[in-house]
Chain A
Amino acid sequence: MTSTPDPDHSPRLHRLLGAQSARVPAGLADRLYRASAPMLPENQQAPAVLARLSFRWVAAAAALLLASGLALRFTAMHAPDDGSEANLTAVMAVAGDGVLGEDFSTVNAMQGVGLNDLDAEMQLLLKGRVDG
């Protein structure tokens, strides 16, 4: 590379500036090329493809969730009524009113199943601890 002559150049100044600009390390352009070529837009396809795939995966997941929701809703609408839902609703209503407290008998009465056994078991445990 040589410096472009300018009217105010002295020969020596021109020669020095040209010499300085000519001092380029061997293989510089190759190294710059190897470092930068992967950054070219066309070589940045991996993230773009990934982005497109991600979008498709998101769309597929959303469709799957929607289908699952519809299936659950359909199942719930066509499930036989065994009274459990009414019992649960009653328990939740009592709990929401704050009157449940520790009165398991209220729950027992409304739930009707399960808690009697739990109550008996707890009594046995407490008795055993006291006796022991």
Chain B
Amino acid sequence: MTEPEEIPALLARAAAGDQLAWREVVQRWGPRVFAFLRSYTNDPELAEEIAQSVFCTVATKLGDYVEQGRFEAWLFRIALNRLRDEMRRRKRHARPMDSDVLADVGPSARQEEHATAEELSALHEAMQQLPEADRLVIDLRHQGGMGFQQMADLLHEPLGTLLARHHRALRKLKGLIGRRLGEEETE
């Protein structure tokens, strides 16, 4: 996997038409963008559809992009815009998580992560109850795997504000999940 300091060179190679470089870009960020989108939509097919659109846009514009350490912010900005456009267009509401969603998960992932369907359902429901801004911060951080500085660039917010919101959002989420599962969190 490419080290962070090698990302500008990787992007430059991809922009020059290097297929291997572009494949690495997609492998590195594709699952993170997908996870972010899926968490938001709770619909794997829609999330993948939007992710494809996002990477097509990035590939198209990569030639004009000048990397200044903000690629992730740029990438997730495109993803966020696509997501909002799509949700507005479809006027979809998130559905309760069902077994179809879990069936889509690779067996290795299910074995590695010992989360039950009930727990994941509780997480999803709790996320739905969070304010939009809190939910976005948690999704970008924990599904998109973004760094706080990149998130601050993306959301045009001071880093301190973002950190505080993330802290509050996690506390809310923890409480909501605990109530949903009918037990108190043990630290």
Contact = CB atoms under 8 A, between A and B. Distances in A.
B22 A16 contact: no
B143 A36 contact: no
B114 A15 contact: yes
Given A13-B170, A16-B119, A32 B52 contact: yes
A32 B51 contact: yes
Interface in A1-51: 1, 3-4, 6-13, 15-26, 28-29, 31-33, 35-37, 39-44
Given A15-B113, A22-B109, A32 B55 contact: yes
Interface residues of A, number: 37
B81 interface: no
Given A21-B35, A24-B31, A33 B26 contact: yes
A32 B27 CA distance: 9
B15 A41 contact: yes
Contacts of B187: 10-11
B56 A16 contact: no
B interface, over-half SS: helix
Given A21-B145, A26-B106, A41-B62, A31 B123 contact: no
Contacts of B26: 29, 32-33, 36
A40 B143 contact: no
Nearest to B23: A33
Contacts of B115: 15-16, 19-20
A41 B63 contact: yes
A55 to B, nearest CB: 21
Contacts of B159: none
Contacts of A25: 34, 44, 48, 104-106
A12 B32 CA distance: 21
Closest 7 CB pairs of A and B: A42-B17, A19-B113, A41-B63, A19-B115, A39-B59, A36-B55, A17-B142
Interface of B: 14-17, 19, 22-23, 26-27, 30-32, 34-35, 38-39, 44, 48, 51-52, 55-60, 62-63, 101-102, 104-106, 109, 112-115, 119-120, 122-124, 138, 141-143, 145, 166-167, 170-171, 173-174, 177, 185-187
Given A16-B177, A19-B114, A35-B56, 19 more contacts: A8-B170, A10-B174, A10-B186, A12-B119, A13-B185, A16-B115, A20-B115, A20-B143, A23-B102, A25-B106, A28-B48, A32-B48, A32-B55, A33-B23, A36-B56, A39-B56, A40-B17, A40-B62, A44-B60
